[in-house]
Every structure is written in structure tokens, then in C-alpha cells.
């Protein structure tokens, strides 16, 4: 957190002190902002207060900004209630779907000149106030779903909030937001879930052969069903649109595989084109994992003993090399793990030689 003082004059009222609400409150408190906490659960409010996230609401509160962090299915009604209860406050929310919320607030007669929806692309697998952390949003995108009814001045308070929390402000319309998250979050969730579902009745011998690939594909299938039913329901049309296109591609691949015994080789072209298109698609993802070409990798074998991985990283540090990324691979039952280090290409030869000279087994 930077020590720069917040431009928010406060107080900021946070409604809903789960993971996101508590994290927002903690981040604002770290900037010295007066934070008021509210939640349907008095227990959650008490926990969040003990956690240092803010104070209880008082009758004389005049919040500058209200951040609604409640579950998606009640977000719109809470926004409308807050707009009405605090007629001078700007209200935003952090729900992961934006158009249905905006429409519902408008339909209920909420004052749109003081409401602008937003969505921080941040989260953790663990929920609840105890999982909150002041730095949850640092460096993460935070979408502001602007609309024509919001005044520049009102929107500025939300911009200040995002700046305070160290996130990167991304402006798009509610529709653009919803189609974007359908593609990069909601459809992948469904696909991961459905792949994982196939494993339920698999023989133990089959799942015993599983490697890193299927683990990666199915990791987010462990997400909370109750939350995701709400998210998928709220963004049903854009998500279904992505899934229909994927289903058409899947039908094509299934058809190609079913005809792979035939004498003509059209099936082969279909499957190869799909695989090549997948290559091209994954290249579009930003970030370190999506741009591994920027770094060189080396793989070091590490005995599965206390301190061994620590010693490796200590010695990488002594060589003055910064790790850009890191993957640890460890097979069940193996006495040896593999640490894949990603470093700047100009450092890899030097580091490889140095680690080998220190006795490390370089596996690639």
C-alpha cells in the first residue's frame, strides 16, 4: 500500500462484510478512511470490526460512498434501499454481473445519477470476513460499468475507491462487461465443472493416471456451487452464447473423431484446425502464464526433504537472479520434486551453470 492519502473524504459505508467487503474496508482503513460496516449477519459485523475493518453504523452517518458487497441475487434490492436511505451518497456494487443489476435498479426507480456498478476481478477460494485482506485488489483489474445517467462527480468517488485499493481501473459498459466475463470467467467455470463431472464414476485406476493437465483444467470445478448458480443465472444469456459456440465446435470435433476410421482424411483437418485455434486462443491471454515466451525456463530437481526447496531459492537469490514465475511439480510417492523456474532469457545460461556448479541436478 502506498502511503498517499486517500482522496475520499468519507465515511465509506460497506454493506456486506464477506471476503470482498471486508477486503475493501481493510484497504480503506489502511488509507485512514472512516469505514462503516453493515451486514445482515451481526456476527459478521462483529468479526469484521474485531478484524480492524471499520466501525458500526450510527444514526448520524452521512456516507460519501456506499459499496454494496452482498450476494448477486440481492444486490439490486440492496442498492435501491441504500440509494433511498442515503439520498446524498454515491452507491456502487461489486457484483460479478452488471447489466441485470443496472436494469433492476432502474426498474425499481433507483436514482441512477448516484449509482454506478463496478466489478473487481479479484477473489480467493476462501470466503468470509476472516479471509479479507487489504491488498486483495492490488494490481487487479476493476471494471467500472459507466452509464449515461451517472454524473462525472459521482463516478469520481468510485474511481478514488479503486485508486485507493491499488487496483487498475477498466471502463466498459455493463453489456461489454457481462459479455467479457461470460467469456473469460463464467464459460470456463462451466467447462471445468463439466469436465470434472466426468471423473465421478471413473475407476480408481483411471484417475490414478491423472497428471497436471487434467488437474489444471478441473481446478476451478472446486468452486462454491451456491455462489455460481447465482452468477450463472444472472449472466445466463451471454454465458449460454459462449457455451453454444463451444458446443458447436465440440460437435464438430466429436463428428470428426467418429469418422476418423473412414478413408478420407477430412476428420484430420477438422481436429488439427481446432487444436491450432486453441493454440492461437491461449496466446491471447495476458500475464506471465500466457506469455511464457518472454521468459526462459529451467527445471531443477529437488529432494522432498525440509529445507531443500528453500535452499534452492536462497541460492538462486545469491546468484542475483529474479524469479519471474515458478511451477512446482511433485508426483504422488516420488521422493523428488521438480521446480520449473522462469527467468529472463539473458540470465538462464548463467543461472543454469551456477546451480549445476552448486550441485543441483538440472533436469531441463
CA 168 → CA 3, 161, 227, distances in Å?
17, 11, 25
Task: Answer positive or negative: Cα dihedral of 201, 204, 205, 207.
Answer: positive
Separation CA 150–CA 143 (nearest Å): 15
**Comparison of 58 and 203: residue with beta carbon closer to a copy of itself:** 203
- Exactly one of 294, 330, 350, 358 binds a copy of itself (CB under 8 A); that residue is 330
317: helix, coil or strand?
A: helix
CB of 80 to a copy of itself, least distance (A): 20
Using CB under 8 A, pick the residue from 239, 298, 351, 360 that binds a copy of itself.
239
Asked if residues 319 and 350 have their Cβ atoms less than 8 Å apart, the reply is yes
Beta strand residue intervals within the chain, DSSP E: 12-15, 35-38, 55-56, 65-68, 90-93, 117-120, 141-145, 168-172, 296-303, 325-329, 336-343, 361-362
Binding mask 9-48 for a copy of itself (x = CB under 8 A): ----------------------------------------
List 41, 233, 294, 353, residue binding a copy of itself (CB under 8 A): 233
Establish if 312 lies at the interface with a copy of itself (CB under 8 A).
yes
Q: Is the dihedral of CA 304, 307, 311, 314 positive or negative?
A: positive
Contact 37, 25 (CB under 8 A): yes
- Given candidates 60, 307, 346, 359, which one binds a copy of itself under the rule CB under 8 A? 307
**Which bin fits 166, alpha (ψ -120 to 50), beta or left (φ > 0)?**
left
Piece in contact with a copy of itself (CB under 8 A), picked from 6-14, 42-50, 154-162, 227-235: 227-235
> Least CB distance from residue 283 to a copy of itself, whole Å?
8
Residue ranges in 206-225 that form contacts with a copy of itself under rule CB under 8 A: 206-223, 225
**Binding residue for a copy of itself (CB under 8 A) from 42, 58, 87, 261?**
261
- Does residue number 275 form part of the binding site for a copy of itself (CB under 8 A)? yes
Contacting a copy of itself (CB under 8 A), which of 32, 156, 266, 290?
Answer: 290
Examine residue 11 and say whether the peptide bond preceding it is cis (omega within 30 degrees of 0): yes
Site for a copy of itself in 136-155 (CB under 8 A): 136, 138-141, 143
Q: Quick one: cell of 174? A: 455493463
**Smaller CB separation from a copy of itself, 46 or 228:** 228
CA distance 180 to 165: 23
**Quick one: 314 or 356, whose CB is closer to a copy of itself?**
314
Classified as helix, coil or strand, 222 is helix
Please tell me the count of residues contacting a copy of itself according to CB under 8 A: 139
301 three-state secondary structure:
strand
- Interface with a copy of itself, residue 353, by CB under 8 A: no
Among 34, 111, 159, 249, interactor with a copy of itself by CB under 8 A: 249
Distances (CA, A) of 17 to 23, 88, 159, 264: 8, 22, 21, 61
Q: What does the per-residue mask of binding to a copy of itself show for 89-128, with x meaning CB under 8 A?
A: --------------------------------xx-x-x--
CB of 99 to a copy of itself, least distance (A): 13
Backbone angles phi, psi at 15, to 5 degrees: -105, 110
Between residue 174 and residue 203, which ones bind a copy of itself under the rule CB under 8 A? 176, 179-181, 183-185, 187-200, 202-203
Amino acid at each position: 500500500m502506498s502511503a498517499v492519502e486517500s482522496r475520499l473524504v468519507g465515511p465509506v459505508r460497506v454493506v456486506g462484510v464477506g471476503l470482498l467487503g471486508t477486503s475493501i474496508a481493510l484497504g480503506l482503513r489502511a488509507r485512514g478512511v472512516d469505514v462503516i460496516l453493515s451486514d445482515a449477519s451481526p456476527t459478521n459485523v462483529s468479526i469484521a470490526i474485531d478484524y480492524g475493518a471499520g466501525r458500526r453504523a450510527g444514526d448520524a452517518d452521512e456516507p460519501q460512498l456506499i459499496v454494496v458487497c452482498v450476494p448477486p441475487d440481492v444486490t439490486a434490492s440492496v442498492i435501491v434501499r441504500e440509494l433511498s436511505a442515503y439520498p446524498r451518497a454515491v452507491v456502487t456494487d461489486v457484483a460479478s454481473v452488471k447489466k441485470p443489476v443496472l436494469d433492476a435498479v432502474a426498474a425499481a426507480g433507483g436514482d441512477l445519477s448516484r449509482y454506478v456498478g463496478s466489478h473487481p476481478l479479484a477473489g480467493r477460494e476462501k470466503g468470509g470476513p476472516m479471509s479479507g485482506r487489504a491488498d486483495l485488489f492490488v494490481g487487479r483489474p476493476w471494471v467500472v460499468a459507466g452509464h449515461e445517467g451517472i454524473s462525472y462527480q459521482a463516478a469520481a468517488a468510485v474511481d478514488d475507491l479503486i485508486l485507493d485499493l491499488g487496483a487498475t481501473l477498466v471502463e466498459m459498459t455493463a453489456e461489454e462487461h457481462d459479455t467479457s466475463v461470460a467469456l473469460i470467467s463464467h464459460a470456463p467455470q462451466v467447462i471445468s465443472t463439466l469436465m470434472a463431472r466426468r471423473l465421478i464414476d471413473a475407476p480408481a485406476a483411471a484417475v490414478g493416471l491423472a497428471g497436471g493437465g487434467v488437474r489444471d483444467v478441473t481446478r476451478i470445478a472446486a468452486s462454491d456451487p451456491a455462489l455460481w448458480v447465482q452468477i450463472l443465472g444472472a449472466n445466463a444469456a451471454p454465458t449460454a452464447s459462449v457455451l453454444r459456440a463451444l458446443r458447436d465446435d465440440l460437435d464438430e470435433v466429436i463428428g470428426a473423431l467418429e469418422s476418423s476410421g473412414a478413408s478420407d482424411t477430412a476428420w484430420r483437418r477438422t481436429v488439427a484446425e481446432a487444436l491450432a485455434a486453441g493454440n492461437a486462443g491461449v496466446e491471447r491471454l495476458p500475464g506471465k502464464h500466457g506469455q511464457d515466451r518472454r521468459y526462459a525456463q529451467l527445471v531443477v530437481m529437488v529432494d522432498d526433504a525440509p529445507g531443500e526447496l528453500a535452499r534452492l531459492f536462497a541460492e538462486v537469490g545469491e546468484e542475483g537472479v529474479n524469479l519471474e514465475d515458478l511451477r512446482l511439480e511433485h508426483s504422488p510417492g516420488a521422493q523428488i520434486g521438480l521446480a520449473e523456474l522462469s527467468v529472463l532469457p539473458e540470465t538462464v545460461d548463467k543461472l543454469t551453470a551456477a546451480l549445476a556448479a552448486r550441485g543441483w541436478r538440472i533436469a531441463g
